[in-house]
Amino acid sequence: MEGKLERITLLTERYLNQIFGSLRVYREDGEFLIPWGSTVINVEVQEEKEEIFLRVCSPVALRVKPDKELMKFLLMENTSLKMCSFCVEFERGLLDIVLGTRIRFDFVTKDLLSYVTINVGNLANEYGKEILAVFGGLSFKDYIEREKLGKGIKGEEKILHDIFDLEDLRITLELYRLAEGGYLIVGKTGDTGQVFLRAERRKEIQEVFEFLEKLKSFIISKDIASLRKHLKHYEVEEYFLYNILAGKEGERARRLKEVEREIHFLTDLLMKGEISHEEYRKRMSDIERLLGS
């Protein structure tokens, strides 16, 4: 059964890549995630009593305060929805509302999976707007953004966040006070969040600030020799850092931004029904070939 489950997971992945394009499909074990407007389409391969199902669902609204009128609304809508239904999960006194359905894999074709996933995603976006406007809460997209903002280095206190531009690329240098004493400098690109430096300093704060200023000046002036000298004892992604200084990473970031804008534009057209699925797949295939070149 395990071999069959893996085969079906691979087939599901192939179907989803054909429907949305491989650039839009993210795999986590037996689950697949497709960003879709303010939500995400989640497709999970499930096994139950020797049968295999596909669970297709999308978050509608997260961290919503429980409300009798909200529960009545969800129950009423469940009586009229034919393809899917709402379910709620309680966590720390708040509700997470999800819209989903389950299909026996025996009946699944690429066309059926396309119909179900796109409709679940579109319905979740539409219901999400209505529920968030009336009852509050967060969309999946807003929830993820909030998580990113609140997620620093575990157990450490951020005391400095310096942002500057190196030609067309944004660079950030962050300074953390470590719980066990000392300080940690983290360097990364603002566009992709790629970390290229982690330098722990067990010195006085003034010396750490001076060291940080030196690093910044070396990066801005593209002084590779001085960077090598000052960073030889620290954790550095040298290849990535020198690509930044050579301007290659800026070109890559610009290219990826353009591709990301095009993908979001095409997805938005597909969601609104302003582009055929065939045209969407053709243009996504062109983007995939471009990135592969």
Question: Mind listing the pLDDT tens digit for each residue in 70-94?
Answer: 999 999 999 889 889 999 988 878 8
Query: What percentage of the chain has pLDDT greater than the value 70?
Result: 86
Q: Output the pLDDT for position 250.
A: 54
Same domain for 7 and 94, yes or no, is: yes
* Widest Cα–Cα separation across the chain: 69
Same domain for 214 and 272, yes or no, is: no
Same domain for 242 and 255, yes or no, is: no
Instruction: Convert the pLDDT of each residue in 20-50 to its tens digit.
Output: 988 889 988 779 999 998 999 999 999 888 8
Q: Output the pLDDT for position 134.
A: 93
Q: Is residue 123 within 8 Å of residue 129, measured between CB atoms? A: no
Buried b / exposed e over 60-90, threshold 16 CB at 10 Å, is bbbbbeeeeebeebbeeeeeeeeebbbeeee
Phi, psi dihedrals of residue 29, rounded to the nearest 5°: 55, -120
Section 138-147 average pLDDT? 83
pTM of the model: 0.62
Same domain for 12 and 134, yes or no, is: yes
Q: Output the pLDDT for position 239.
A: 66
Distance between CA 85 and CA 39 in Å, rounded?
A: 16
Same domain for 175 and 274, yes or no, is: no
Residue in the structure block whose two tokens are 């139950």: 48
Residue 161 inside a domain? The answer is yes
Residue 218 inside a domain? The answer is yes
Same domain for 106 and 10, yes or no, is: yes
Closest CA to 236 of 177, 188, 166, 178: 188
Same domain for 230 and 273, yes or no, is: no
Same domain for 130 and 9, yes or no, is: yes
Q: Output the pLDDT for position 229.
A: 84
Q: Give the domain extent around 113.
A: 2-141
Distance between CA 160 and CA 180 in Å, rounded?
A: 18
Alpha-carbon distance values, 6 to 12, 19, 169 (Å) = 10, 20, 41
Instruction: Convert the pLDDT of each residue in 240-253 to its tens digit.
Output: 676 776 665 556 65
Same domain for 49 and 127, yes or no, is: yes
Same domain for 10 and 93, yes or no, is: yes
Q: Is the pLDDT of residue 259 over 80?
A: no
Q: Output the pLDDT for position 116.
A: 94
Q: Output the pLDDT for position 278.
A: 81
Same domain for 27 and 67, yes or no, is: yes
Strands (E), the chain: 26-28, 31-36, 39-48, 51-64, 85-91, 94-104, 157-166, 169-177, 183-189, 195-201, 235-236
Q: Output the pLDDT for position 41.
A: 96
Same domain for 42 and 95, yes or no, is: yes
For residue 238, which amino acid is it?
A: E
Give how many domains the chain has, as a whole number.
3
What is the chain's length?
Answer: 293
